Each structure stands twice: as structure tokens, then as C-alpha cells.
Structure 1
Amino acid sequence: MLYRYNNCVIPFSFKGKLVFALFLVTMNITDCLAQPTARLTNLSAALPGAASAALNPPATPLITVDPYTSIWSFGDQLNDQPTRHWTGRPHDLNGLIRVDGRLYRFMGNPMFAGDTLVRPGARVTQEARFQTEAPDNDRWMQPDFDDSHWLRGLAPFGSRPTDRTPWKTPDIWVRREVMLDQLPKGRLLVSASYNDNYELFINGQRVAQASGVSARYELTSTNRAISELLKPGRNVIAFHSQNFGGQQFVDVGLLQERTLDLRAATQTGKSMSATQSRYTFEAGGVGLTVTFMAPLLMDNLDVLSRPVQYVSYQVRSIDGQQHRVELYQDASSDIAIDNPGQTVTWRRGRVAASSAKQLPLNWLRVGTAEQPVLGKKGDNVRIDWGYLYVAAPANPGISHRIGTLAGAINQFEREGIVSDIRAGGRPLMLTDSAVVLSTSFDLGMVSEKAVERHLLVGYDDRQSINYFGKPLNAWWRRYDKQSTDAAMEQALQAAEADYPTLQKACSAFDQTLYADALKAGGDTYADLCVLAYRQAIAAHKLVANPAQTGAPQPLFFSKENFSNGSIGTVDVTYPSAPLFLKYNPTLLKGMMEPIFEYSESGRWTKPFAAHDVGTYPIATGQTYGEDMPVEECGNMLVLTAALAHVEGNANYARRHWPVLTTWVEYLKKEGFDPANQLCTDDFAGHIARNANLSIKAIMGIASYGYMAGKLGDKQTETTYLTLARDMARKWMELAKDPSGTHYTLTFENPGTWSQKYNLVWDKLLGLNIFPIEVAQQEVAFYLTKQQPFGLPLDSRRTYTKSDWIVWTATLATTQADFEALIQPIRRFVTESPDRVPLNDWHETTNGHKVGFQARSVVGGYFIKMLE
């Protein structure tokens, strides 16, 4: 049996205290014993196929259905703060265990706004100092910094008509003095409106950071005591905000955070596999294991699409005594709304058992009274149509309640159960206390033999995507034309019946994925693949496109999370593709099909591929303000060739050959020496003559030739492969740095460099367009440019994209070089101070998040497995 003693893992079989003591001495682990918080924790509950102990996820996925139903535990402890939607908005799942009448919190920590400390600028008139050029002193946020030469203005700062002080540059730095008479107890909350990023400092201490867009004032917990950050008298609030496009605005206020005063169970372990997250706790002499299972199995699209996932519990005595145990879990109505204050209604019901071996299911549901189906689009928004469901078998020891959080917890603390005290169906306005769907489990007297229970959590969105004016159902609803309640009841029933089978299937897949990734790239690589799996899938929605004849066709729409909210973005599909090429190419076709159809329908008339088909979930045409001609043409051509490679035929390419031909003709004319145009890596600004973008064009041309060969057209194959090789030779002349050590960022620009990750397809498709020495030379050079948290994207700045690092590392010809390039990513994941769903754009010098989070592009980590 394995045990962990702090950071030491010990193989051990109890034969008495003396043997244990001798074993510790023999293993020379006195450092472990010296730690004052040392605990001996049983690791036998670790998940099969789990990531190694070296991985500490910045956030852990709990419920991951799609971009709207996506609930995470930010940070390390499941009971340290509220569970959250990937955007950071609380989407509360709370869990309590009652042991011999004593209550412990194991999941969640509901957050409420208390006293206002500093009003945002929109609600008070107070002057601040600001400037739009980078301060020449890195102490600009400190209280003693001299800002007398800075400009004066009133918040909010921005480009909207309602903003008090105009701001139209990419960056702004603001300092504001506030006087406080006294400080309330508790932790500090930040209330902020922003587009796109802000970083906040209080009296010189960095306390918060957020990215994305929030026109409303978002609450963010600092997890710091007010008294640690503020003081009676003068305080300086300073923030830096960035904008990457569109309207810009920023405003910040401070409040007290209030939480329910419940003692926390002691978390003793956490493990994560591709489809499951597991936590272990101790409380009052019992051990509790909580497992979240998302059956995102790509060989079964019905199960992958079904919007029902599982929370299971295992409880046993760990002190040799019997204990009276009850469990409680709730799910808040904030999961079914976009903004606090929306009115909700609720219902409860029962689904009959599907077999003699199965109990009926009791279900609870909640949703907005308004039900504006497909009524809004955007990035930092949440669904406010459809219904959140919680269901459990109709066991005599399981009871339910719909009501306020405080009422449910108070009843559970008193009685060890919850039960309804209000009639369902009438609206309730949400204020400080959300409506919760709560369930209690009476486990009776618990001994060393484990007692198990489980709960189903699901979300029925009724309709999922507006596809050029046609509302599309989720794939699991593809034959339900009326969007009925009965369809969701049947989905719950099927999910309950499938639970034992899916437990085995998920565990088997988790082990297979980890073993495959371990073989492909080592343990660091396997850890990254485990971390990326659920996030990459859940940033998509699988829907059914009704066919004129025959069966519906699957479309798999991505949402560009916390970058602009676009739907079906080509340069998000491109980095995400390796995961789906590996496990189900049908899903990649479902990502690409809307772009093909957009052009083939005549709606998109330009001679290059579109950037997107709208803003999620409204797919009615490109909404991004700028085209990416070379980027998107190259992406679509390369990915279509990759599909031909993994499927062994070019049948999919044949269906779209005319538009692929249009795109390759564009690359022949415009791709080799690109003009000053947008590409996917333009975080530091647009550039002309982009060497990596040129490689993408060359690989797109080569991909067209490769596909022609697969279709039996040898003449076209020879023509385009020859053209690509000629371009490659010319590329080497124009991009070679005079030092002879590497190739430049842009043509004929000595002393610059960039990651040439687009070269990876030459290797994976076996095209032999570039001499292998090009990639070898680049990899050797990159190893000299490593920073503590990764390889910078290019020579202009020190930030990076982790997905591109893995692609670049796959160019390496030795395992040692591959691991050297990816190990800093695991360090970033583990040590980054920004504990949020994995972000793919971070600073390599200090591990801070620059932007984005919870995006599908981490599916690109799987590219090494394609090799």
C-alpha cells in the first residue's frame, strides 16, 4: 500500500510501530517528519491513470459539459473558496458532512458581498492619477511613488460614451488614493469592470488579476484578509489594464467578503485523471472520498454529448470506531443565470426506473423565469436559458429540498436531512442567498467498510446554437424536434443506468491515455495531457445539423474563451486539433465543417478562409473585425491533410476540393512573403514578412499536393510539392540569421527569432519540404533561450503560448531535448500564482497569466502523440 507523508511517498505494510519507525530511519526521510503539518495520508484512493504527484493543477475540473456548464475548483483546496464557472463567477456546489452531529464543510465556501470599502469610480467622484505610457519606474504601484507628473482623471477610464476619462491606447496605469476610517473583518473582494485585462495592487502588494471582458462589475476574491492589505488612513490602489481590441474600459472597487462560518474538513489528497477528479478528506474520525466523473469518451458521442455528469461519495471510519454520518450537497441556481438578480423558477419530479435493478430517480431543476433561449452572445457571459438538474436514486435515505442556502444548511445541521418547506414553481428573486437544489444522504452508522452514494448533475439547454438562423439541438437531442422535458428525463434515466459501466470505461480510458502519453513523451508530458483533456473538450458544444436526407451530421463548435468569445474560430481549431485527430477525427471535421459551409454557401465571398462564424452561441457569420488570410487558409489546408493522413484517405478533402483549391491559390500568390496582416501570434503587434507564417503557407501548399496524391492526381501532387520545396529553399535564404545559429522572426531581420512551430507538420505528415537541419538548428537555439517558465514566443517579448511550445518541442529529435522544452510548462502549471483553469498565454519569467483561460487550444498538447 502507498502512503504519503507530506511530500514523501512510502510503500508500507503495518507490522507495528517499531517497524514503521525503523522504516523511516532507513529511508532517511527525517525532513518529512520535521515538517510541523506532517500527516500520514492513504494514497490507495488515487485514480487510475492519474497525473503524477509533481502536477498541481491551477484549477481542477469538476463538472465539464460545454462552455456554459463548466464548474471548477480554483486553487488547491476544494473547500477553500466557492466553486466557479471558468470565467471566475461563482457557480456554487457546496458539500457538507455531518459526523456524530458535528458539521464539516468539504466542498465550496459561499462568498457574499459585505460592506463597501472603496466604491468604483462609476459610483463616486474621486480624482485619480493615470498615464498611458509604461512607467519608467517599476515602483509605480508603491505608496511612496511620486505621481505628481501623471495626468489627472475620473474613473471609469475607457472609450465608451459613458466613461468619464477617455482611454484609447493599448495600456493604462492608474493610481488612486483613498482614506479609510476603519476596517471590517474578513477577506477582501474586488469589484471590477474591464476589457481586456487588469492587474491590481493595494499599497504595493499585487492582490488580483483578471482577463477577458466584463462590462458588468465582477466580484473576485483575493483570498487575503482586509487587514493584511489595507490600513486606517491613507491607502493607494493602483492598477494596470490592457486592451487588445474593441471597446476598452476599466474601473475597480473594493468590498468586504462574507462567508458562512462552517469548519472545514481536512483535505488529505487530490488526484486527477483525464475524465475524473478525486479529493480525500478527514473529518471527525471518518475518511471521505469525493469523485467527479465526466464521461467525455470520444468513441461514444451520445455519452460525450449527454449533459449529465456524476459526483460520487465514499465514506468509511478511519479511527476504528463507528460513526453516525450524513452527507449534504447542493447546486446553486447561479449555475442557470448570467447575472445575480435574475428571477428563477423551479420544479421537482420523478423518473421511473428503466429496469428492475434500478431505482426510480428523483430530480430537482431550476432555471430563469424569462427563458431567453439563444438570446445573448459574448465572451464573459453565462447561460440564462434551459435548466439545471440534480438527480439521485429514490432511496429512502436520500431526501431533497429547494430553497435558500442558509435554510438548507441550518436544517441539515439540526436534523441531518433536508426536506422541502416551500411549494415549487413560484418565482424567487435572487439576492444575497441563492436558491439551491440540495440533497442529503443518511448513511447510518459507518464502520471501516466503505459506504458509497452518487448524485447526477446535468444541464438541459433546450437549444444550443443558432446556425445561420437555424436553432440546433445538442447531439444527444438530435431526434427531439420539440425540445421536451421528457428528453431530459430520459437522459437522466440513461445516465443512471449507465453509471456502473461508465465508471469502468472512464477508468480504463484514463489508464490508456496516461500510458500512451507516457510512452510518447514521458511523465511530464503525460501530466500535461491529463490536465488538458477535459478542458479542451468542454470548450466545445457538440450539436446536430439536420441533413436534407439521411442522418443528422455532427458539428463541434468551439468557443474562444476569454479571448473574444468567437464561435468556430479557425486559429483555435488549428491548435486544438491534435487531441481530436488522436481520439476521434469526426469531431475535427465537425469543427471545420462550418467554415467550409460558410464559403461554399456563398455567404463568405472572400478568396481566403474566414476567421470565425460568429460569436458564441450565434453562428451567423464572421464577427471578428479583422481577417487573417494567410493564417486561416494555411490552417484549413494543413488540417484537411492531417485528416487524410490519420484516416488513410482524402475523401473528406474531395468533398471540399473546389474551396481548398481557392485557398491554395491565394497562398501561392500571397503566402510566401506575407504582407502586414493579422496572424495568431500578433500579441506584440502586426508584422510583415513573418517567417513562421510563411512556413504555414508553404505547408498549406504542400498539404494540397499531399491530398491530391491521396486522390490519385499525381501530376498535381508533384506540382505542389515541388513548389513548396522551392519556396522552402528560398525561405532558408531570406530567414537565415547572419550568426548561422537560427532563423529570424521576419525575413532579412538579423538578431530576431521566433518559434517555428508550424514546421511540425512537415515531420508529422512526412512531406520532407524543409531539410531536417532547419528544425534541428532551431531546437538547439531555443534551448539557449529558455526562461524559468518556458520558451518565449519570439524575441519581441518574454511571454509565450504553451500550446506552441509543445508543438515546437515535438520538432526535437531526442527525448532529452523534448523534455527540456516542456518541463517549464509543468512548472508554470504548478507554480503560477494565477490559480485558474489552465491559461495558454503566460509570462515565462515569473509564471503570471497574461491572458486567456479555459480555452480549447490546450488540445494541442496531444501533438506529440501523433508522432
Structure 2
Amino acid sequence: MGVPDADSSNIRPATVHRAEFTATHSIFDLTAGRVTITVHSLSPVSPSNYVRQPLPFSQDIQIYLDIDARWTGQESRLQGDFEEKDGLAIYSLTVKDAPLYAKASNMALTGSTILASQFSSFTQLSALSGSPKEVRGQFVEDGELSGAGSTWGEGSVVVLAHNLGKVTGGLSVNFVVGYEREAAINYLGETYTGFYRAEYPTKSSALSFFLGNYNSALLESLKLDQELVAISVTTAGPKNGNINTIDVTMPVFPIYYVMDPDYIRLTLLLVAGICYTHDLGTHYPNAIGHDDQEAEPMPIEECGNLLVLAAAYVRATGDTDWTSQHMEVFQKYTDYLVDKSVDIANQLSSNDVAGPLANETNLAIKAAVGLKAFGETSGDGFYSRIGEQHANIFFQQGLGTGRDQTHFVLDYPNWPDTWKTPYNLFPEVLLGLETFYDAAYRMGDSFSHLFDWAKSDWNTFLAGTFEAGTRDEFVDDLWSFMTNGKHNWPFSDRYVATSAHGNEPGVPILCRTLPTVGGHFALLALKGPRSIHSLSFRGKTVSESVRQNLDMRQYLVGNHIEDFDTRRWSDNKHVMSSSAVSSWITT
């Protein structure tokens, strides 16, 4: 498995017998000669464990693992380091002299790619760097690596390998692969790091915890996978570097609602007390706001989403303290919707790729639901009545529907033959707001008459408003898209739905691995908040001193380095005092 080209012509590929993919695991069964091997990649999911969840590592179980410069985002000007520390062998690859917060092709250049593994009494761990042909050839020939003569040049790899010796039963070893950025984000001019550094401030301590916590993470992930399959079966019968974009926060919230609703508050807390705009910054990891006044123009989207998400948080947790603290801000956004959400100015909606539009019906629906949501959160019936009045205008009076009232139109008042999926009705159903009559939920069509593509997250939102038969058709269509064999990149939430414009249906377009796929949990959200019970043991590895700081704003992007009395990033040169340290630089 992974034999890439003629450079490894002396290496026979293993035979893959089985591949299995779950929410947290990728598992492959292989045979290499007479040896049976299971390659098991685990990406732990622990949303309520604020130390374990943000660790930027994944685990691979096999015998030999190498990585190359592509993991750093740039294949030249690399500095490599190897060290043995705290019982670990650690390779680090870093782009030399990369500007702070720099990126290339949406990959961070400031930081280090990490490959690590633990020494043990039952295996012999060895390391080497050099050309793939030479390194892999040595491993095939000797079953281990000499460690001598490590070199680095264009196309080189760094390698860790375990020699298991003669094995008569089952045996496993763990590798860690990840990308560590000590200066994780620039939030309004301040440098922040990952929250896990509150308890594990050094690279080796974080890696030791991660590997030592493997069995616990594995058990939790297996429980999560099993429960997701079970509840999903019964139910079915998130571009460009912007940070905390409000039109992405909205579609991703169902997964927060299901796994840990407190993430809704943590996401909104970054901005609710300051200024609620489309995003916190244009180029991640620079969350520096918009003093340039260049934020995307989507005020109805922003206001409606904030009010709906705040109501969802309160409904899920029963916590009204946070919304009470920001009620004055929330009311200002609500008052904006009172005045601006019937005669809607030309502006963007969540689907900003479609361009701006005046009097978009979906925005009017969002505003009406947002008004009713704030009425519930605040207890002010005035806003609830305004939301219901707006719903009456667009549905009962027909301003937002076609002539025969079979579907909602794209925009009003002069386009009765247009349409667009009314996905903004989902929060209305989830929260039981009853802003619109039930008959409104039976109205809908393909995403829009303007486009040949569909959105899987919005389709799932819409499915949540339907009765079982129609709902299941939507779920079946999403499954067909996921399994049609036409994907050559990570799961996209946007795909061609019709050949009307000459494109092949079922092919993903534009979006890759966006958090908007959290919207696929919309149907599970209807089962209630925290409905995945395997995640009920929360934060057990977080010390009390750290737990007390969870609600302080500086920890929401990550803990501020100075606040934990650790060194500033610019002062931390990663000076190694271990028994084995080596480094090299390539230009």
C-alpha cells in the first residue's frame, strides 16, 4: 500500500482486502506475503474535551511511515529537525524564515509538520531521512533503518519504522502525524495558541499525552461511530480563508447542537460583544476584523443567523445568562430586521457565490424566523408578533410564493416563475417557533432555477421540514451523491444536480471539506440537543484550574500564551536538550 512509482520498483505492493470508513476511522486490511496487517487511522472526536479535541494530530497504526515536504505546504527552503525526547522519536519539518501567519494554497507555512512515535520494549524504533528510493529500499532490505547518513534534498522523505521481530500473535504500534502551529491565530492583533497548551505547553508533552490517551480516544470513537450509525439509520429510514464566517456558522450548527451545544456560544462569543459582521478577517489565521470596511454585504443573513443561533443555544442548554449579557446587542440586530426585512436591499445571502440580490425570499424567511427567535429568547412578544406578521405577508398573502402557491420564489414581487429551496425554515421547525403555517413546509423545489447545482447541507435542512417519505428521498439522494464514485477530492457540499447546463450530474464542484457539512446532522438535531449519548463524559482530563478559564474570552480562540506564563512565540526557539538532536536545511 502506498508504493508510488518506479523509484520503488523493488518493493512489491501489499494487497488490500478491505476498506472501511466511519466518522472517526479509516481502516484497511492488507496482506504482505504471509503477514496480515491492519492499517487503522484514527481522528479522535471529543468535542467537550477542550484539551484533547484541539490536538492537531492523527494516528496511524502500521510498521513504516514516511512523509515528505508537501505536508509543509512548500517543498523548498525547509528546515528539518529530529530529536529523541521523553521516550519519543520526533521529526519536525518547518518552512525556513516563513513570515508569521503566511500560507500558500490555503496551507499554513508558519508551523511544523510532525511525525512521531514512542520507543517501546517490544519493538525497535529507527529513523532516517533521504531519497524515497534509498530509504524505502533500506527498509525492505533490512526491516529497519540505520539512522546513519541522514540527508535532505528535493523529494526527500523523513521516516520512522518499527521492527516488530518475530510476531506470533497480534501486535500494534502507533505513529502520530500532525501540523503544529504554536502561534495559531492573530486575533485583533494578539497572538493566540491552541487551548491544549494550557496543560501541555511543549511539543513532547502534548505528543506524550496524545499517545498515552490513545486507548481512551479509541474507545470513545468506537462508541461514537456505533451510535452515529444507529441513530442515522433510525432517522433516515460547512472556501477562501475567511474566519468565523456567519454564513458558515449557520449551516454547521446542527453538529454542535447534537454533540455539544456550547460550541454555538463559543463561536458567537468572539463577536457578539463587539460587532457582528460576515467574518472576523479575510485571511486565516489573521482574525483582525474589518477596519477597512470591506466585509461582505449580507446584513440580513448576519442578523437573522445571530438571533436564530442564540435561540438554539438557549433551547439546547437552558443557559440564559450569556444571552442576557448581550441582549442590548441582540435587540439592535432585531430592530434592523424589523425595518429592513420586507423591502430588502441588494445584498448577499449564505450562497454568496450566486451574487447579490434584492428582495430575496429566503432572506425574508430567515428574518421572520429570526424575529420570532428573538421574541422567544427575550420574552418580548412584540418581536414575535412582527415575525408572524412578516410570515403572513410572504406566505398567506403570497408575496414570496408563486401564483398557485406551490413554491417559494427566488425573489419578489415580479418573478412568480422562479424558485429557490426554502432551507431557512429548518430552524423554525427545530425550535418549534411556529412563525409560518405548517403548509409552508410543503413548498419547495430544486435549489434555484438559476443554477444546475445543489447544496447537500441545505437539502438536509429542508429534509428536516418534511414528512418521512419526502425526507427519506432527500437522504437517499445525498447517499447516492456520496457513493457515486465521481469524487476525486474531500467531500463537497455542492454538486451538479441536473444536466440542463451541459454538466455531468453527481460531480462535486467548488467546495472541499467545508464545515458546512455539519448541516448533514440536521435530522439528528431534531432528536434533541446532546443526542449522541456516547459523548456524555465531558472534559474529564481537564484540570480544574484550566476548566475555570473556559469562559474567559481569551481562551475561545485558544489560550493567550502570556496568560499561561509560557513564553511568547517569538521567544521560543525550540532549544533541544535531548540525547539525540539533528537538523538540516534545504533551499
Give the TM-score band, short-chain normalised: 0.7 to 0.9
1:674 aligns with 2:396: no
Question: Is the contact between residue 418 and residue 439 of structure 1 (CA under 8 Å) also seen in structure 2?
Answer: yes
Taking the aligned partners of 2:3 and 2:31, their CA distance within structure 1 comes to: 17
Query: Residue type of the partner of 1:350?
Result: K
Secondary structure of 2:173's match?
strand
* 1:421 corresponding residue in structure 2: 148
Answer yes or no: is the 8 Å Cα contact 2:303–2:334 preserved in 1. yes
Tell me, what secondary structure is at the counterpart of 2:163? strand
Map of 1:382 onto structure 2: 108
The structural deviation recorded for 1:109 is 4.4
Q: CA deviation at 1:665?
A: 1.3
Residues 262 and 313, structure 2, Cα contact 8 Å, conserved in 1: no
**C-alpha distance in structure 2 between counterparts of 1:842 and 1:408, whole Å:** 41
Q: Is 1:593 aligned to residue 260 of structure 2?
A: no
Structure 1 position 824, deviation (Å): 1.5
Report the CA distance between 1:381 and its aligned residue.
2.7
Q: Which has the larger radius of gyration?
A: 1
Q: How far 1:611 moved relative to its partner? A: 3.5
Whole-angstrom CA distance in 2 between matches of 1:308 and 1:630: 38
**Contact residue 22 and residue 225 of structure 2 kept, 8 A:** yes
1:478 is displaced (CA, Å) by: 2.8
Match of 1:342 among 67, 74, 77: 77
Q: Distance in 1 between matches of 2:365 and 2:428?
A: 10
Change (3 A) 1:369 1:613: closer
Equivalent residue, structure 2, for 1:272: 21
Corresponding residue for 2:390? 727
- Structure 1 residues 462, 402: closer, same or farther in 2, change over 3 A? farther
Q: Which residue pairs with 2:533 in the alignment?
A: none
**Conserved 8 A contact 2:301-2:349:** yes
Comparing 456-465 with 265-274, greater Cα deviation is found at: 456-465
Asked if residue 620 in structure 1 is aligned to residue 288 in structure 2, the reply is yes
SS state of the match for residue 849, structure 1? coil
Once the two structures are TM-superposed, the CA of residue 343 in structure 1 deviates from its matched residue by: 2.0
Question: Does structure 1 conserve the Cα–Cα contact (< 8 Å) formed by 2:111 and 2:179?
Answer: no
Q: Which residue of 2 aligns with 1:629?
A: 299
Q: CA deviation at 1:462?
A: 1.4
SS at structure 2 position matched to 1:303: coil
* 3-state SS of paired residue (2:521): helix
The residue correspondences of 1:678-689 to structure 2 (distance < 5 A) are: 678-689=348-359
Report the secondary structure of 1:763's partner residue: helix
Residue type of the partner of 2:377?
Answer: M
- For 1:378 and 1:565, the matched residues in 2 are separated by 11
Corresponding residue of 2:405:
740
In the other structure, the counterpart of 1:501 is: 216
Residue 311 of structure 1: which of 57, 60, 78 is its match?
A: 60
Matched, 1:330 2:66: yes
- 1:568 matched to 2:237: no
Does the 8 Å contact 2:277/2:295 carry over to 1?
Answer: no
Deviations 1:631-675 (A, max 9, x none): 111111111111011012322211211211111111111122322
1:442 to 136, 147, 164: 164
Aligned to 1:855: 514
Q: Does 1:770 align with 2:436?
A: yes
Matches of residues 68-87 of structure 1 in structure 2 within 5 Å?
A: none
Aligned-pair CA distance for 1:379: 5.6
**CA distance 1:397–1:479, shift in 2 (3 Å):** closer
Amino acid at match of 2:479: R
CA distance in 2 between partners of 1:501 and 1:609 (Å):
39
Q: What TM-score, normalized to structure 1? A: 0.57
- The 2-side partners of 1:362 and 1:777 are apart by 59
The aligned amino acid for 1:847 is G
Aligned-partner Cα distance in 2 for 1:444–1:698: 69
1:287 to 22, 31, 36: 36
Tell me how large the CA RMSD over aligned residues is: 2.2
User: What residue identity is the alignment partner of 1:855?
Assistant: L
1:532-586 deviation digits (Å, cap 9, x = unpaired): xxxx7xxxxxxxxxxxxxxxxxxxxxxxxxx211111111111011101111122
Residues 442, 650 of structure 1: CA spacing in aligned structure 2 closer, same or farther, 3 A cutoff?
same
Say whether the 8 Å CA contact 2:88–2:204 is kept in structure 1. no
Q: CA deviation at 1:492?
A: 1.7
Please name the residue that 1:146 is paired with.
none
Are residue 653 (structure 1) and residue 323 (structure 2) matched? yes
Shift of 1:755: 0.4
Cross-structure match for 2:578: none
Paired residue type of 1:807 = F
2:258 touches 2:525 (CA, 8 Å); kept in 1? Answer: yes
* Greater fraction helix: 2
State how far apart, in whole Å, the 2-side matches of 1:773 and 1:520 are.
22
* 3-state DSSP of counterpart to 1:453: coil
- Contact 2:91 2:158 survives alignment (8 Å): no
AA at the equivalent of 2:44: P
1:137-536 paired onto structure 2 within 5 Å: 260-261=8-9, 262-313=11-62, 327-335=63-71, 337-351=72-86, 361-368=87-94, 370=96, 372=98, 374-377=100-103, 380-395=106-121, 397-404=123-130, 405-422=132-149, 430-431=153-154, 433-446=155-168, 449-478=169-198, 487-522=202-237
Distance apart, 1:587 and its partner CA: 2.0
Task: Report SS of the residue matched to 2:309.
Answer: helix
Give the 3 Å change call, closer, same or farther, for CA 347–667 of structure 1 in structure 2: same
Q: Hey, which of these two has a bigger chunk of strand by percent?
A: 1
Aligned residue in 1 for 2:493: 840
Indicate the SS of the match to 1:451. coil
- The number of residues matched between the two structures is 513
Question: 1:814-833 alignment to 2 at 5 Å?
Answer: 815-833=468-486
Give, in whole Å, the separation in 2 of the partners of 1:329 and 1:755.
46
**Structure 2 CA distance for aligned equivalents of residues 681 and 307 of structure 1:** 30
**2:455 & 2:3 partners in 1: Cα distance?**
33
> Contact 1:576/1:857 (CA < 8 Å) preserved in 2?
yes
**Percent identity among equivalent residues?**
24
> Offset of 1:678 from its aligned partner?
1.3
TM-score by length of 2: 0.83
Paired residue for 1:865? 524
How far is the alpha carbon of 1:349 from its aligned partner?
Answer: 0.9
Deviations 1:686-719 (A, max 9, x none): 221110111011111111101012xxxxxx2x11
Gaps of 5+ in 2: 499-504, 527-587
Inter-partner Cα distance in structure 2 for 1:664 and 1:475: 33
Which residue is 1:222 aligned to?
none
CA offsets 1:756-804 (integer angstroms, 9 cap, x no match): 01011111111111000111233xxx3xxxxxxxxx4211112011100
Contact 1:342 1:430 in 2 (8 A): no
Aligned counterparts of 2:163 and 2:424: Cα–Cα separation in 1? 53
Q: Could you tell me how far 1:498 is from its partner in structure 2?
A: 1.7
